[in-house]
Amino acid sequence: MISTEFNVIDRIQASTFKSVTLRALRPQDMPSVYDIEDESFHSPWGKKDFRRCLKHPKCLSIAACDPDTGCILGFAVLDLSSKEFAYLLNLAIREDQRRRSIGRQVMESLQSGMANTQKKCIRVYVEERNLIAQMFLKELKFQAIEILTGFYMDSDDDCYVLQYRKR
């Protein structure tokens, strides 16, 4: 069950944006999701991390699919348990499909989905080294609000907390 307060899936289900269809992630999508995760991060989530999120009632998991073939081109996972904030826990687009506005479509649907909810912001934690994600989020109107040192166990990178505030 997805939080009704932030029920993006209801609004975006089966709606096709410029080139992708957004819908809830399904168990059968997971092999593609694991492949995208592995090619996208130096410390990828494991299957357990995904399973925990997918089972959680306050987690929203979105698949971006090719409207013709149904192939998974990317995904996003959000934590909606806070009243004011949605936390983007994970977002990745298949490596060979990047720079085709797929990430933008996912984020813009989330941003517009917030309009009639109590949530004021979307927050995301980004590694200092992940310049592409920072450029992407800047384009999507996120701003840096905090720098956390010693946040990551597996790297010396600082963590940038970036936030999108609802207009």
- Choices 1-9, 10-18, 50-58, 89-97 (CB under 6 A): range interacting with ligand COA: 89-97
| CB-nearest residue to ligand COA | 103
Instruction: Please tell me whether residue 33 binds ligand COA under the rule CB under 6 A.
Output: no
Name the nearest CA neighbour of 78 among 54, 101, 94.
Answer: 54
Instruction: Please tell me whether residue 99 binds ligand COA under the rule CB under 6 A.
Output: yes
Instruction: Please tell me whether residue 124 binds ligand COA under the rule CB under 6 A.
Output: yes
We find the least distance from the C-beta atom of residue 80 to ligand COA, in angstroms, to be 17
We find the least distance from the C-beta atom of residue 158 to ligand COA, in angstroms, to be 16
Instruction: Kindly give the residue spans of alpha helices, DSSP state H, lying in the chain.
Output: 8-12, 30-40, 47-55, 102-113, 131-139
Backbone angles phi, psi at 71, to 5 degrees: -60, 145
We find the least distance from the C-beta atom of residue 148 to ligand COA, in angstroms, to be 16
Instruction: Please tell me whether residue 132 binds ligand COA under the rule CB under 6 A.
Output: yes
**Half-sphere exposure for 15 (CA within 13 Å, toward CB):** 11
Give 14's contacts (C-beta < 8 A, 6+ positions apart): 21, 23
Instruction: Please tell me whether residue 141 binds ligand COA under the rule CB under 6 A.
Output: no
Q: Quick one: three-class SS letters along 32-43?
A: HHHHHHHHHCCC
Residues at the interface with ligand COA (CB under 6 A): 40, 91-93, 98-104, 124, 126, 130, 132-133, 135-137, 139
